[in-house]
Amino acid sequence: MSLLSVEELHTSYVSKHRAVAAVDGVSFDIQRGETVGLVGESGCGKSTLGKTILRLLNPSSGSIRLAGTEIADLSQRGMMRHRHRIQMVFQDPFASLNPRQTIYRLLDTPLRVHGLRDRRERQQRITDIVTRVGLSPDALRLYPHEFSGGQRQRIGIARALILRPDLVVCDEPVSALDLSIQAQILNLLADLKRDLSLSYLFISHDLAVVQYFADRVLVMFGGRIVESADHHALWHTPRHPYTKILLQAVPRANHPRREPAEPATARAAAPTESGTGCRFRHRCPAAIARCATEDPTLRRVAANHLAACHLA
Amino acid sequence: MSGVETLGRVLPVVALRQRRGWLRRALRTGPLVCGSAILALVVIIALMAPILFPGNPNDMVDVPAQWPGESAATPLGTDSMGRDVAAGLAYGARVSLLVGISSAVIGLLIGTTVGAIGGYFGGWTDRILARLTIIFQTIPSFLLVIVIVTIATPSAAIIALAIGVASWPTVARLVRAQYRSLRAQDFVMAARSLGYSAPRIIVCEILPNALPPIVVTTSVMVANAILIEAGLSFLNLGDANLISWGSMIGDGRALLRTAWFLTALPGSAIALTVLSLNLIGDGLNEVLNPRAGKE
């Protein structure tokens, strides 16, 4: 059984006049111990997808199964029992820690909320997790603003792990950090995954980071997954034109860029302009007549390799 | 920002010292110091009133309408009924502060509850509470207080309650706006993902972050309440058993030409107290301003 199984998930933002489908029919699985990367440009719905899986946003339809249990239609109260199994590391380590609470309190409250009465045991778990993320227990009495960005993200990770989750959704956990700090945090996440047998859904707009980190990569565009492949296949034989463009945009050290990255088609595809046909066709260098009429579905193009393109 | 960050990483001590910096900055801000000094004086006089003036301030102690300095026993003069003006001012401070503070507390309690619930939950809960707030805000607060006080007996407690009921909409709107912006913050998202209950998030997570502007408003609310209470007493709608600055002005009005000090002295007391509270509000705003704090 997959640890997480998402099927035909839709999430919409409803404003006064219209509804925008930010996640528009997404299906994927995460196995135990797997790190799945989720890449795509800003506004493609990847953060919304992550937040929907945690039920911080309510899906408009579809199914989310966590180790076999359907959680898409649970009430917030019913969700409470499952919260500890799936946690999140946020992008901005400045905004995601309550500035008025000490680190001890930040880590202690989740344990108390989840019914751990024994004070000594809580203390032990807090010290343990703080040490694991590479902070000294002295840090516990300080406030978030007394730490650097990298240290704060360590605290954010500690908080996500304090309830001993199975799955951690990392929403761009390093994109707010200096390059030198990014590597430290990524290494830390990799170590923690090994030691605590975690699974990650790793959301990022940075393919280089995902390449380093993920076993399997999902490429998202306009609220949908357009390609899904293991990390090697995606890197060497990308099938979807959007993935190809993304890969071309990644700077490489050893050989110069073969051709200029994406030409002047910077216009982001709004998820609303779905209508008919492939939603990438306006930016696609290879679009054909069929793309305007028929929306490509995600289909198998090789073993463990899915792509949503007529030409793949 | 990044400079500070680097410093904090290398020397957490620097960050610690910065934290105490707010106190020094607070002391440096003139308005807060001035306001606090004046208010402290008023509070001390109010607390010491029974010691300084052991008798009943409503008792006749001297010849009526004596000017300040005319008699050694009544240094600030006497009013038309021979009551000691100085004693009246001291006991009036008690009433003003008591009514001011307790009505502000009542207003804060109602306003914060309504604003926090509406702002956090949003949706139709918020719509209903926002309508209620607007309805209360359209009623002129002074008239509402008069209505409540005339229906009930005009005791200090009723007056405080009435002013509190009339003043909560301001707080509710402020708190609602705070909660609306704070609830979208990542740390609230994090609290929800950890399974915190809504009451816990409202009280323990968001409220401490929403507090600074509430604190600032409180000082202004106390000032307004003092003014309303003075207005009520001036119109003879106050607590008849207590001497108040407003009633002193009201009584002195008849002798405005011959003994203007009977109006001027309690009038200055009101003005000074209200001014001190506004100065404190300004000063606190300066100190608690999140932008100033992050530099």
pLDDT of residue B197: 92
Q: What is the pLDDT of residue B6?
A: 43
Q: Which two tokens stand for residue B132?
A: 């209620």
Q: pTM to 2 decimals?
A: 0.81
Position A255 scores a pLDDT of 52
* Cβ distance of A88 and B15 shorter than 8 Å: no
Task: Tell me whether residue B154 is in a domain.
Answer: yes
pLDDT computed for residue B294 by the predictor? 42
Contact A114 B191 (CB under 8 A): no
- Tell me which chain B residues have a C-beta less than 8 angstroms from the C-beta of A142: 12
Query: Do A216 and A228 form a contact (C-beta atoms < 8 A)?
Result: yes
Which residues make Cβ contacts (< 8 Å) with residue B176, sequence separation at least 6?
A: B114, B115, B116, B118, B119, B126, B129, B130, B133
Look at B187 and A87 and tell me if their CB atoms are within 8 Å.
Answer: no
pLDDT beyond 80 at A268: no
ipTM: 0.86
- Chain A residues near residue B205 by CB distance under 8 angstroms: 98
For A145, half-sphere exposure in the C-beta direction (CA atoms, 13 angstrom radius) is 16
Q: What is the mean pLDDT of residues A234-258?
A: 77
Which of A98, A113, A151 has its CB closest to that of B195? Answer: A113
Q: Say if B197 falls within a structural domain.
A: no
**Is there a contact between A84 and B186 if contact means CB atoms under 8 Å apart?**
no
d(Cα A300, Cα B1) in Å, to the nearest integer?
48
Residue B41 domain flag: yes
Which residues does residue B153 pair with via DSSP β-bridges, in sequence order? none
Task: Report chain A residues whose CB lies below 8 A from the CB of B187.
Answer: 95-99
CA–CA dist A186, A174 (Å, integer): 8
In a domain, B19, yes or no: no
Which residues of chain A does B208 touch, with a Cβ-Cβ cutoff of 8 Å? 98, 100
A149, B5: Cβ pair inside 8 Å? yes
Chain B residues closer than 8 Å to A150 by CB:
9
For residue B219, is it within any domain?
Answer: yes
Minimum mean pLDDT range among A170-184, A219-233, A256-270, B51-65? A256-270
Whether the predicted pLDDT of B257 surpasses 90: no
Is residue B119 domain-resident?
A: yes
User: What six digits make up the tokens of A134?
Assistant: 């590479």
Give B142 to chain A, closest Cα distance, Å.
38
Domain count, chain B: 1
Q: What is the DSSP string of A60-87?
A: SEEEEEETTEE-TT--HHHHHHHHTTEE
Residue of A nearest to B18 (CA): A146
Which of A160-174, A201-215, A261-275, B275-289 is predicted with the least confidence, judged by mean pLDDT?
A261-275
Statement: residue A192 has pLDDT above 90: yes
Asked if the Cβ–Cβ distance from B195 to A99 is below 8 Å, we say: no
> Does position A264 have pLDDT exceeding 50, yes or no?
no
Task: Tell me the HSE value of B247 on the side-chain side, using a 13 A CA sphere.
Answer: 20
Determine whether B67 is exposed, middle or buried from the number of CB atoms within 10 Å of its CB (0-12, 13-18, 19+): middle
Q: Do B193 and A114 touch (CB under 8 A)?
A: no
> A92-127 burial string, b = 16+ CB within 10 Å, else e?
bbbbbbbbbbbbbbbbbbbbebbeeeeeeebbebbe
CA-wise closest residue to A239 among A190, A286, A301, A298: A301
C-beta atoms of B15 and A145 within 8 A: yes
Question: Per residue in A220-241, pLDDT tens?
Answer: 998 999 999 988 888 888 889 8
Query: Does B7 score more than 70 pLDDT?
Result: no
**Phi and psi of A74, rounded to 5°?**
-75, 150
Answer whether A219's CB lies under 8 Å from A233's CB: no
Residues of B with CB under 8 A from a CB of A: 5-6, 8-9, 12, 15-16, 19, 185-187, 189-197, 200, 204-205, 208-209
Mean pLDDT throughout B55-82? Answer: 79
pLDDT at B26: 59
**Residue A100 touches partner B, C-beta closer than 8 Å:** yes
Average pLDDT over residues B127-141: 92
Range of the domain at B236: 31-182+210-294
CB of A2 closer than 8 Å to CB of A64? no
Q: Which residue has the higher pLDDT, A42 or B289?
A: A42
In a domain, B12, yes or no: no
Rounded to an integer, the average pLDDT of A74-99 is: 91
Stretch B90-94: mean pLDDT = 90
- Looking at residue B4, its pLDDT comes to 42
Q: Is pLDDT at A156 greater than 70 in this prediction? A: yes
CATH code of the domain covering residue B111: 1.10.3720.10
B19 neighbourhood in chain A, CB within 8 Å: 143, 146
CA distances from A270 to A8, A41, A221, A267, A280 (A): 20, 12, 10, 9, 10
> In which band, very low, low, confident or very high, does the pLDDT at A98 lie, cut at 50, 70 and 90?
very high
| CB within 8 Å of chain B, chain A residues 124-183 | 142-143, 145-151, 156, 159, 163
A128/chain B closest Cα distance in angstroms: 19
pLDDT for B9 equals 45
* pLDDT tens by residue, A53-82: 999 999 999 999 999 899 999 988 889 999
Higher pLDDT, A251 or A64: A64
How far away is chain B from the Cα of A288, in angstroms, using its nearest Cα?
42
Q: What's the mean pLDDT in B230-252?
A: 88
Give residue B11's pLDDT: 44
From B185, B191, B204, residue closest to A95, measured CB to CB: B185
Residue B237 has pLDDT above 60, yes or no: yes
CA gap A94, B97 in Å, rounded: 41
Q: Do B191 and A98 touch (CB under 8 A)?
A: yes
Mean pLDDT of the residues in chain A: 87
Residue B106 domain-assigned (yes or no):
yes
Q: Which residues of A touch B209 (CB under 8 A)?
A: 98-100
Q: How many beta-carbon contacts under 8 Å exist across A and B?
A: 74
pLDDT on residue B33:
87
**pLDDT score of A84 more than 70:** yes
Judge contact between B142 and B201, C-beta under 8 A: no
